[in-house]
Structure 1
Amino acid sequence: MSTPEPATPDPFFSAAGVRRGFVGGQPLAPGTFVYGMVFGVLASERGLAWIEAMLMSVLVYSGSAQLAALQGWTAAPLIAPLVITVLLINARYVLYSASVQPWLAGATRGRALGTLFFPGDGNWALAMREYHAGYRDAGFLFGSGLATALPWFVGTTAGHLLGGSVPNPQSLGLDFMLVAFAAAIGVTVFRGRGDLWPAAAAILAGLALYRWLPGWTIVGAGLAAGLMGGARAR
């Protein structure tokens, strides 16, 4: 006679879960703070005012998307490529939100929407590990998101204020941050030789657009990779 598996508790949302998530997210905070400082320094170099950099960090809240936007930022930036760049890079959050839907089913609409404002790559992975371990307090997702969001905002401010004392960020390699971040993600998710086709499509599109339409480089490379990946999947 088989032993019945213990019942999984229903999802809920509590202050205790928020505290547990906030404490659990602290190992992510230092890296997020430094990442925010890098963005703040580069935003200052690009001519963004402090309030503009802070609003971008609060409203966009995506290091990869914000650094990509800065790559194409000029005195008179093309708005359409910047918006499309942010949407393409942040498209993964659609999948993130879908993955936590069963967890947030135990929260009120207001708490669920507030929680969905804060997920980042690090705290989402941390929260999903807790969920798969059987923890069902959705407050953990909110608390861990808060633990990474606050250092990001503070780091943006600190970096912008220090930007004037860093006369040449390129000499410190700060302009390489987006490339390093994208390369790290690429190595992590690489599954085999089949992934080389989308990568090659992105490289070719990026090189072509860099020469003829520089403002659309990242957008075009992302679309080319997506189309190639979709074609191969079919």
Structure 2
Amino acid sequence: MLARLSTDNRTAFMSGVRDYSPMLMAILSWGLVTGIAMSKSVLTVPQALGMSVLVYAGSSQLAVLPLMAAKLPIWTVLLTASMINVRFAIFSAGLAPHFSYLPFRRRLLLGYFNGDVVYLLFQKKAFATGYVPGKEAYFWGMALSAWAAWQVSSIAGILLASVFPDDWGLALAGTLALVPLIVSAVVGRSVLAAVSVAGLVALVAIDLPYRLALPLAVLAAIGAGSVVDVIADRADLRRIRTARPAAGTADPTGRTGRTGRADLGKES
């Protein structure tokens, strides 16, 4: 596949692989935990393998397993998964300006391979919107690394669940590995406000059914970040207006700004 790419695209693809590599241990831990959980649930091995490949969303996979074990109506399972995965609609909206020129099927494929960490790292590169040489290849370098790591670890967890003790704390290890990435992404007041409000809302709403805490935290984060951005923009506008000299103010010679410029032109 790489041999068919241009030199720029090969370089961008490998750059995406390198940028994603620090996150591999976190993804491997989460995939392993999810695979073990699916194997020890009511799912058969073929069903667990199918969920790993087709769903490819660890949080929602873990969330629906207890519901399926309790034999709750299918609509509750789908609603819970939808509430957790609503963030991917926001990620898609963020990627749209970058890949809107691609065919619809190709954009659907990008959506399937997108993920939390992939999206965050992609946005940190601050690409210009529209077509940029190497931009799509960079995305694929990260996306395929993430997908391969997830599937390998998830399938290993499904097939080797009995080998791993329950008290290993792999879920905590995966979470801790993601913390440095989240902290490094907090740049600017609006992002800090969004993260703080999202964490608070998630804690307050943690006991709500259908994992509603997550979409509520997402919506609260968007609102908080937007409010801080608006306040900052208005403050900047006020400073600009204050610093700009008023038209027609007198200069040290006693002449107005406009008259002074006219007189200088005549003198020259």
Q: How does 1:58-137 map to 2 (within 5 A)?
A: 58-74=53-69, 76-132=71-127, 136=132, 137=135
Distance, in Å, in 1 between the alignment partners of 2:219 and 2:97 is 30
**How high is the sequence identity, in percent, across the aligned residues?**
27
Between 1 and 2, higher relative CO (CA 8 Å, sep ≥ 6) is seen in 1
1:71-125 CA-to-partner distances (Å, cap 9, x unmatched) read: 4331634322221111111111111111111211343434332222111111111
Which structure 1 residue ranges, 5 or more long, are not aligned? 1-12, 207-216
2-side partners of 1:146 and 1:124: how far apart?
13
In 2, Cα distance between equivalents of 1:227 and 1:21:
29
**Residue 50 (structure 2) aligned to one of 32, 52, 55:** 55
Mapped to 2, the partners of 1:85 and 1:95 lie a distance apart of: 17
Residue in structure 2 matched with residue 172 of structure 1 by the alignment: 168
1:32 corresponds to 2:24: no
Deviations 1:35-62 (A, max 9, x none): 1111111111113222222221222211
Q: Which moved more, 1:65-74 or 1:189-198?
A: 189-198
User: Structure 1 residues 25, 199: closer, same or farther in 2, change over 3 A?
Assistant: closer
| Preserved contact between residue 106 and residue 138 of structure 1 (Cα < 8 Å) | no
TM superposition shift of 1:191? 3.2
Equivalent of 2:210 in 198, 218, 221? 218
Query: Is 1:149 the counterpart of 2:147 in the alignment?
Result: yes
1:43 aligns to 2:43 (yes or no):
no
Range moving further from structure 2, 28-37 or 109-118: 109-118
Q: Which moved more, 1:75-84 or 1:39-48?
A: 75-84
- Corresponding pairs, count: 207
Distance 1:122 1:93, change over 3 A: same
Cα 1:150–1:175 shift into 2, 3 Å: closer
Task: Name the SS for the 2:125 alignment partner.
Answer: helix
Normalized against structure 2, the TM-score is what?
A: 0.61
C-alpha deviation, 1:221, in angstroms:
4.6
Q: Scaled by the length of structure 1, what TM-score is found? A: 0.69
- Residue 132 of structure 1 and its aligned partner are, at CA, apart by 4.1
Computing the radius of gyration from Cα coordinates, the structure with the larger value is 2
CA contact (8 A) 2:84 2:215 kept: no
Alpha carbons of structure 1 residues 164 and 85: separation in structure 2 relative to 1, 3 Å: same
Tell me how far apart the structure 1 counterparts of residues 172 and 78 of structure 2 sit (CA, whole Å). 22
- Separation in structure 1 between the aligned mates of residue 151 and residue 103 of structure 2, nearest angstrom: 26
Gaps of 5+ in 2: 1-7, 228-268
| Paired residue secondary structure (2:69) | coil
